[in-house]
Structure 1
Amino acid sequence: MCGRLSQYSGIHDFVAALSMPNALVNSTGEQPFERYNAAPTAQLALFHQEGPFLHADMVRWGWRPHWAKDRAAPINARVEKVAHGPFFRAIWPHRAIVAINNWFEWVDEGGPKKQPYLIRHRDQSPILCAAIGQYPNEERDPGERDGFVIITADSAGGMVDIHDRRPVALSPMLAREWLNPDAIKDRAEQMLLHQGEPMEAFEWFKVNRAVGNVRNQGPDLIRPLIDCK
């Protein structure tokens, strides 16, 4: 998964997709986010559960432990290692969902520049991506080390032609289970490894190369590129 995604709907659209009856503690505002071209370090809406409440906070995309000062903060964590390696040990118990509209990948098709593709649900519903992070909770206000990473898995089928990694996207039912603080650790890991949404749930198409410049925003970036050849 390359480091670019869209989160342009409003928080209540994402809550509706999650279909979670818990009372919402919303710190993200009421307006659509309109982040059509979000890059690492962007503040994105992140869901986590604290007791009976669903919380939505703006949290930085990217995280590293306090002792890893010699490297950039990763934005993704590989599902094969995330539960067992030392790097993410501190945040593995802190499960979250980042709901996105789509993500982008760049493909070398032999031209002078790589061609960007947009990947989204075939029905264009929000994608509920499994994440872990350090974020505000009932006992702690936002801090400078807050951040999150998206968990990724190997791609399959035709999606391999676009990129070899993709977010672990969960169905609403599994996303709710993932968010449950009482979920058993082994069950959470098996969910990521074996129960992510299949390749058939997604579609992808070429988009304008303007998405390569993170300063570019707007709905034109997510429209299919018309092939005039």
Structure 2
Amino acid sequence: MCGRVSQYTGIHDFVAALSMPNALVNSAGDLPLEKYNGAPSSQLALFHQEGDVLHADMVRWGWRPAWAKDRAAPINARVEKVAHGPFYRLIWPNRAVTPINNWFEWVDEGGPKKQPYLIRRRDQAPVLCAAIGQFPVGGRQPSEHDGFVIITADSQGGMIDIHDRRPVVLNAELAREWLDPDTPKERAEQMVLQQGEPAEVFEWFKVDKAVGNVRNQGPDLIRPIADSIP
């Protein structure tokens, strides 16, 4: 996963995709997010659950433990190691979902610059990515140490031609179970290892190279170029 996502609809659209009747504490606002080209270290909408209450916050994409000052904050965590490695031990219990509309990958097709592809669900529903992180809980204020990572797995099927890694995407039922604080850690690990959405759920197409510049935003970035309309 190359590290660029879109979150352009509003929080309530993402909540509807989760089909959660829970009370919502929304610190992300009610307006469309309009983030078409979300990059590492930017603030992205993130869901977590406390008791029966769903929380939506804006949290920095990227996290590292306090002792890992010799490296940049990773934005992704490999599903094969995330539950047991020392790097993410502190935040593995802090399960979250980052809802996105799509993500981008870049493919070397022999030209002077790599070709960006947009990947989204075929039904164009929100993409519910399994995540873990450090974020405000119990009413505490946001901290400079807050952040989150998206859990990734090996790609499957034709998606391998686009990139060898992909976010672990959960359907709505599994996303609710993942968010539930009462879900055992062993069950959570099983979900992300074995039950992520398969490649057939997604479609991908070429988009304009302007998405390569993180300063560019707007709906033109998510439109297919003429020769790649799905």
Give yes or no for TM over 0.5.
Answer: yes
1:226 paired to 2:226? yes
1:34 paired to 2:34? yes
In the alignment, what sits opposite 1:7? 7
Q: What's the secondary structure of 2:133's corresponding residue?
A: strand
Structure 1 segments of 4 or more deviating over 2 A? none
1:159 paired to 2:162? no
Alpha-carbon offset, residue 196 of structure 1? 0.3
Alpha-carbon offset, residue 52 of structure 1? 1.1
Q: What residue identity is the alignment partner of 1:226?
A: A
Q: What residue identity is the alignment partner of 1:80?
A: E
Alpha-carbon offset, residue 227 of structure 1? 2.5
Q: What's the secondary structure of 2:221's corresponding residue?
A: helix
Alpha-carbon offset, residue 60 of structure 1? 0.2
Alpha-carbon offset, residue 160 of structure 1? 0.1
Superposed CA deviations along residues 112-161 of structure 1, whole A, max 9, x for unmatched, are 10000000000100000000000001152110000000000000110000
Superposed CA deviations along residues 30-49 of structure 1, whole A, max 9, x for unmatched, are 10000000000010110000
In the alignment, what sits opposite 2:20? 20
* Unpaired stretches in structure 2, ≥5 consecutive residues: none
* Unpaired stretches in structure 1, ≥5 consecutive residues: none
How many pairs does the alignment contain?
228
Alpha-carbon offset, residue 8 of structure 1? 0.3
Matches of residues 55-204 of structure 1 in structure 2 within 5 Å? 55-204=55-204
Q: Normalized against structure 1, the TM-score is what?
A: 0.98
Alpha-carbon offset, residue 182 of structure 1? 1.1
Q: What residue identity is the alignment partner of 1:224?
A: P
Tell me, in whole angstroms, the C-alpha distance in 1 between the residues paired with 2:128 and 2:21: 16
Q: What residue identity is the alignment partner of 1:99?
A: P
Q: What's the secondary structure of 2:160's corresponding residue?
A: helix
Q: What's the secondary structure of 1:227's corresponding residue?
A: helix
